[in-house]
Amino acid sequence: MGIREENARLEDLDRRYLWHPFTQMKEWIEGTPLIISEGRDCFIKDTYGRWYIDGVSSLWVNIHGHRRREINDAIKEQLERIAHSTLLGLSNVPAVRLAERLADLLRSSFAACRGPIPDKVFYSDNGSTSVEVALKVSFQYWRHRGLEGRNAFLSLNNAYHGDTLGAVSVGGIGLFHSLFRPLLFRTYRAPSPYCYRCELGLEHPSCRMACLGRMEEILKEHSEEIAAVIVEPVIQAAGGMIVAPEGFLRGVRELCSSYDVLLIADEVATGFGRTGRMFASEHEGVAPDIICLSKGITGGYLPLAATVTTEEIYNAFLGGYGELKTFFHGHSYTGNQLGCAAALACLEIFHRDGTLQKLRPKIELLEAWLKELLELPHVGDVRNAGMMAGVELVSDKATKEPYPFEEKMGWRVALDVRKEGVFIRPLGDVVVIMPPLTISTENLKTMLEKIRRSIRRVTEG
């Protein structure tokens, strides 16, 4: 069977049997599936041999590039010992070592912050489950403290924290979440710090961050019901790469402290260097009570997540067997050895290669490109936090009028630039740019220039 025949067979099998996430399958099966067969550095290759720059890091997980030798070797070495054993009633070497490494990393990252720093590591499988753990821990913590009325949460509009039901309950993107509202628990919502489209009709900085004021109003009235505030630090990723104004996160931390409510930092997308710091919360010197980590933790190799809490929270779960203070939660692959081995190798690369130190010139290049792009007639707003960037396309720049949903302008740009060898995935009409941190300056320039051309072709005809 020739390459074309084999590829046609794979495409037919994909259409026949696979159900893809966040994908309208009617449109998918009418098109030609793009099937990836190989990866190298910041590139992925399809079954026809065409290479693409991985402009979204395989959905924001790949940090150091594909087929990284050090991570490959770490997984192979662990595989020669054991692939998996349960963490229920047992422990394992990579899980212990990674927990120590994460705790040390958090202590050094937040050394200048006042208050306790998370250092108790609970493993799970992905970002959504790390959030589920954080929500359940928060709820149970207050019950152990004798405050059983704290059974609600406060989150932001435009928030995305995952797709399991707890994570959806604290999500704030109507397109993704409104359908499931009958299944969800009670959550209070504060305004999103979306300055370009302020839901309060104000402008920054004259607004003096009135969105924080609304959050305080909710806490003032309902803090005795609220177990925790959950936020994505600095940037709401899936909400449209919405960058909060400076001081917003610090203000949230101060409100949580004032009203004695836990702060959960969802760093699933923002952690591990994405914003130019190891953790986004570092930008404003904020140490959360609970931090959720996943995506880049293994360098994009294997599913793994960690929910890390302070010792005070952890200690509330200690007691005699009959007191039923145990955290009754876990997953079959909790603390999986292969995933933990990959994560240890990923963190070692950060340390050895000076990954964060090498990011600054690339961030400056990206920011200069974004500034120039803002001159295009249908680019309404550009925003970034480090190497996480969004370009919001509009039909009318003066009025900020969005394109009709059915025009799929963001997707049209993504499909156009794919023909030039760049793979990106938009969020509505926000073109998302989030390549591996190790992308070379040359490849970054190439990718950005191709995206610019596609934006102009699609929006200007």
Q: What is the pLDDT of residues 233-259, one digit of tens each?
A: 999 999 999 999 999 999 999 999 999
Asked if residue 1 has pLDDT above 90, the reply is no
Q: H-helix or E-strand containing 122?
A: strand 120-124
What's the whole-number mean pLDDT along residues 441-457? 98
Fold of the domain spanning 77-353: Aspartate Aminotransferase; domain 2 (3.40.640)
Q: Are 59 and 425 in contact (CB under 8 A)?
A: yes
pLDDT of residue 52: 98
Of how many residues is the chain composed?
A: 461
CA distance 455 to 460: 8
Helix %, strand %, coil % for the chain, to 5?
40, 15, 40
Residue 247 pLDDT: 97
The reported pLDDT for the residue numbered 3 is 84
Tokens of 370: 């974004």
Return the ∠ at Cα 152 (arms to 146 and 157), rounded to 5°.
Answer: 150
Cβ contact 197:400 at 8 Å: yes
State yes or no: pLDDT of 300 exceeds 90. yes
pLDDT tens column, 267-282: 999 999 999 999 999 9
Q: pLDDT at position 2, please?
A: 81
Closest CA to 459 of 421, 436, 422, 426: 426
What is the maximum span of the chain, computed from C-alpha positions, in angstroms? 70
What share of the chain has pLDDT > 70, as a percent? 100
Judge whether residue 322 has pLDDT over 90: yes
pLDDT tens by residue, 177-217: 889 999 999 999 999 999 999 999 999 999 999 999 999 99
Q: So what's the pLDDT on residue 115?
A: 82
CB 94 within 8 A of CB 344: yes
Helix (H, G, I), strand (E, B) or coil at 135: helix
> In the numeric block, which tokens belong to residue 442?
């040359």
Which pair of tokens denotes residue 417? Answer: 């630039």
Residue 289 near residue 241 (C-beta atoms within 8 A): no
The DSSP letter of residue 407 is: G
Judge if the upstream peptide bond of residue 205 is cis by omega within 30 degrees of 0.
yes
* Domain segments of the chain as ranges: 34-63+356-460, 77-353
Give residue 276's pLDDT: 98
Question: Which residue intervals of 38-92 are DSSP H helices?
Answer: 57-60, 69-79
CA of residue 413 relative to chain centroid, distance: 23
Please tell me the distance from the alpha carbon of residue 450 to that of residue 340, in angstroms, as a whole number: 37
Q: Tokens in use for 32?
A: 């030609």
Report the pLDDT value the prediction gives residue 175, as an integer from 0 to 100. Answer: 87
Identity of residue 276: G
Structure confidence at residue 87 as a pLDDT band (50, 70, 90): very high
CA distance between the termini of the chain:
41
Sheet with strand 43-46: strands edge to edge = 36-40, 43-46, 51-54, 422-423
Which two three-digit tokens encode residue 110? 């937040």
Confidence of residue 461 (pLDDT cuts 50, 70, 90): confident
> CA triplet 31, 35, 38: central angle to 5 degrees?
160
Q: How far apart are CA 102 and CA 121, in angstroms?
A: 8
| Residue-wise burial string across 261-278, b where 16 or more C-beta atoms lie within 10 A, e elsewhere | bbbbbbbbbbbbbbbbbb
Q: Is the pTM of this model over 0.95?
A: yes
Instruction: Classify residue 8 by burial, with Cβ atoms within 10 Å: 0-12, 13-18, 19+.
Output: middle
CATH number for the segment(s) 34-63+356-460: 3.90.1150.10
**Residues 54 and 435: beta-carbon distance below 8 Å:** yes
Element holding 231 (H helix, E strand):
strand 226-231
